[in-house]
Structure 1
Amino acid sequence: MKKLFLIAALAMAAIASAPAHAANFRLCTGNSQLNYFKAGQYLKVASTSVAVDVIETKGSLDNLDKLSNGQCDGAFVQSDAMLVYSSRNSKAISGLERAGILYQEQVHMVCNRKLGISRMVDLNKSNTVAVGPDGSGGRTTWDAFILADKARYSVVGTDPRSGVRAFSAVAEGTQVQCAMVVTALNAPLIKNDAQKEGDNVVLVGTDDRDMTRTAKDGRGNAVYTYGEIPAGTYPRIQPSGTVYGTKAIGTVQVDAIFVASTAFIEANEADYDKLLRSFAAAKPQIQKLAQPQ
């Protein structure tokens, strides 16, 4: 009997001294053909102490919804999504912590060549833009544009198509004349799928110069900055240069950020510290997703 008690005591001691099981971190990302999903895979590989479950989603607002209802513990989102979401659910935003910046993303707009426009500001009430479904990055940014300049953008029609379906509709041009995708440079959806329609579609500038003045976050900071898609990034869909090759396209840019649920953080502080170290380790590889190739 004493021997049995001794064995039981040793077993209990072993259980007590065993390290606590690390929490799984459910990471909402985006379309598997865009960079958030790839970035999630990089974080998953780098995170050797905390298991990361990479979840494909519709995009930024969908991610914030899933964070709000407990389906995810963290997410990669556009910073303008925080602006749009706070206008709908300010309480949910208060339950999130910004963990870091991945990189900057460009607003890519692809239009039918016959439309004959070179910049987004030339769109009018006779045009329709495929911005993706509710919750997607494109839809989010379009909603932010409307918040910033209702007179200009609320009159333009929108369509929920996205991805290859949207590019095919733009190439045909009857129902949809443009498609908007918010992503860092060289995402496969643009580099591969959009360029396949290169005979019929072209990139147009999204550098609306009013955006940095009118689109502000809750602290009064500008949500957008200006950048460009360098010449030669997407040779089949960029406008021709004056002499040869293609020319750069002006864009508005938005930060891609990593946010986490404060409920997860408070319940798993040690694991969250480990996750942040893994994010720092993965960040150089993540940032390569946004660099010209």
Structure 2
Amino acid sequence: MTAAMTRRAFAIGAASLLAAGCMRNGPTARVRLAAGESGGLYLAFAELLAERMHARYPHLQVDVIATEGSVDNLARLRSGEADMGLALADVAEHDLAGGPRDTAPQALARVYENYLQVVVRDAAAAQRLSDLKGGRVSIGPGGSGAAATSVVMLDAAGLRNRVALVNYRLRDGLTGLANGDLQAVVWSGGVPTPAITDLDARQPLRMLDIGNLATPMTGLSGYPYLLRSVPTGTYAPPGLKTIGVPNLLLIGDAVADAVAAAAVDVLASDAAQLVPAHVRGLQYLAPATMIQTGLVPLHPGAAQAYRRLHG
């Protein structure tokens, strides 16, 4: 089947699923969606998704919860404090391998891809990651996916014990970068990230190229990290390479199939309305990649929805 035929079949299936959902008015439920921190893509995407799910299914209320990120979200899903949540795929697979199977969340979709960003002041001498040796670097809160992936990156670069690591939220990290308390901030998200762009407008910033670490990071962790070209603009110089990590939208295994199916319906049908204005990420809600959730299995309700979508 050609790519064009696949996209057409997907669109027809999405319309059919939407029609079926409208006829039965969809599920009646209130779900908690664990997102991320202010200024980041997780929270912006989650708020759009919650709005569209309620618009599409009036009896479905989605409450967005601000969190530290992937690790925090996975813990909330396992404990039952959240019903849905976002997580980096590498962190989700590590959690699946290391935690009890009976509380492991399942996947709804691969939704978009993050860029791992090492940001310095443009006036700084640092041109490569190794130049940060001896400096202070914020890798994000302990509950964030950025922190978890940063540790792999620094291990691969041989810098884990050669920099002073701090766990600041993004905005606090950027404040430290601006006042010289920090030499770099590591962040995982879309390019450009609004909070970083805001500071860049006042004090020019620059991303470092870390593309050479994709292979050693994969060797260390066993997760297939991807080499990606970064969209040029604002704080991203031309020709920059970095590490790409997909994001997964996850759901607790106890959540009703109808809620999972409704989420898939909205992701497929309203994809264009779920992209925050500033995002230039890769493979954002692409039909061909939504079901590519790696080792994390699809929730039964999501699997049923995809069968209806694809025929």
TM-score, reference length from structure 2? 0.71
Alpha-carbon distance, 1:30 to partner = 0.5
Paired residues of 2:26 and 2:258 also in contact (CA < 8 A): no
Residue 70 (structure 1) aligned with residue 80 (structure 2) = yes
Q: Which residue is 2:42 aligned to?
A: 36
Residue 278 (structure 1) aligned with residue 279 (structure 2) = no
How has the CA–CA distance of structure 1 residues 144 and 90 changed in structure 2, closer, same or farther, with 3 Å as cutoff? Answer: farther
How has the CA–CA distance of structure 1 residues 142 and 86 changed in structure 2, closer, same or farther, with 3 Å as cutoff? Answer: farther
How has the CA–CA distance of structure 1 residues 127 and 274 changed in structure 2, closer, same or farther, with 3 Å as cutoff? Answer: same
Residue 177 (structure 1) aligned with residue 183 (structure 2) = yes
Residue of structure 2 aligned with 1:215, choices 218, 223, 233: 218
How has the CA–CA distance of structure 1 residues 153 and 171 changed in structure 2, closer, same or farther, with 3 Å as cutoff? Answer: same
Q: Which residue is 2:7 aligned to?
A: none
Paired residues of 1:86 and 1:93 also in contact (CA < 8 A): no
Paired residues of 1:30 and 1:37 also in contact (CA < 8 A): yes
Q: Which residue is 2:208 aligned to?
A: 204
Paired residues of 1:206 and 1:250 also in contact (CA < 8 A): yes
Q: Which residue is 2:105 aligned to?
A: 96
What is the distance in 2 between the residues matched to 1:277 and 1:167? Answer: 37
Residue of structure 2 aligned with 1:144, choices 122, 146, 152: 152
Q: Which residue is 2:226 aligned to?
A: 225
1:4-53 deviation per Cα after TM superposition (whole angstroms, max 9, x unaligned): xxxxxxxxxxxxxx999612121111113211112112212221322211
What is the distance in 2 between the residues matched to 1:121 and 1:84? Answer: 27
How has the CA–CA distance of structure 1 residues 278 and 230 changed in structure 2, closer, same or farther, with 3 Å as cutoff? Answer: closer
Paired residues of 1:99 and 1:258 also in contact (CA < 8 A): yes
Alpha-carbon distance, 1:225 to partner = 0.8
Residue of structure 2 aligned with 1:257, choices 248, 252, 265: 248
1:57-102 deviation per Cα after TM superposition (whole angstroms, max 9, x unaligned): 1111111111111110111111122245357x42269622121111
Secondary structure at the aligned position of 1:205 is classed as coil
What is the distance in 2 between the residues matched to 1:272 and 1:217? Answer: 34
How has the CA–CA distance of structure 1 residues 195 and 65 changed in structure 2, closer, same or farther, with 3 Å as cutoff? Answer: farther
Paired residues of 1:68 and 1:92 also in contact (CA < 8 A): no
Q: Which runs of 5+ in 2 are unaligned?
A: 1-23, 282-311
Alpha-carbon distance, 1:273 to partner = 1.4
Amino acid at match of 1:275: A
How has the CA–CA distance of structure 1 residues 253 and 21 changed in structure 2, closer, same or farther, with 3 Å as cutoff? Answer: closer
What is the distance in 1 between the residues matched to 2:279 and 2:88? Answer: 14
- What is the RMSD of the two structures over their aligned residues, measured on CA atoms? 2.9
What is the distance in 2 between the residues matched to 1:205 and 1:76? Answer: 26
Amino acid at match of 2:201: Q
Match runs of 1:180-191 below 5 Å:
180-191=186-197
Alpha-carbon distance, 1:286 to partner = 3.0
What is the distance in 2 between the residues matched to 1:111 and 1:150? Answer: 17
1:215-238 deviation per Cα after TM superposition (whole angstroms, max 9, x unaligned): 2799x551x21113222x21xx44
Amino acid at match of 1:120: L
What is the distance in 1 between the residues matched to 2:102 and 2:160? Answer: 26
What is the distance in 2 between the residues matched to 1:98 and 1:212? Answer: 26
Secondary structure at the aligned position of 1:161 is classed as coil
What is the distance in 2 between the residues matched to 1:252 and 1:65? Answer: 25
Paired residues of 1:103 and 1:287 also in contact (CA < 8 A): no
How has the CA–CA distance of structure 1 residues 151 and 85 changed in structure 2, closer, same or farther, with 3 Å as cutoff? Answer: farther
How has the CA–CA distance of structure 1 residues 196 and 81 changed in structure 2, closer, same or farther, with 3 Å as cutoff? Answer: farther
Secondary structure at the aligned position of 1:212 is classed as helix
Alpha-carbon distance, 1:140 to partner = 2.2
What is the distance in 2 between the residues matched to 1:192 and 1:119? Answer: 23
Secondary structure at the aligned position of 2:109 is classed as strand
Paired residues of 1:119 and 1:206 also in contact (CA < 8 A): yes
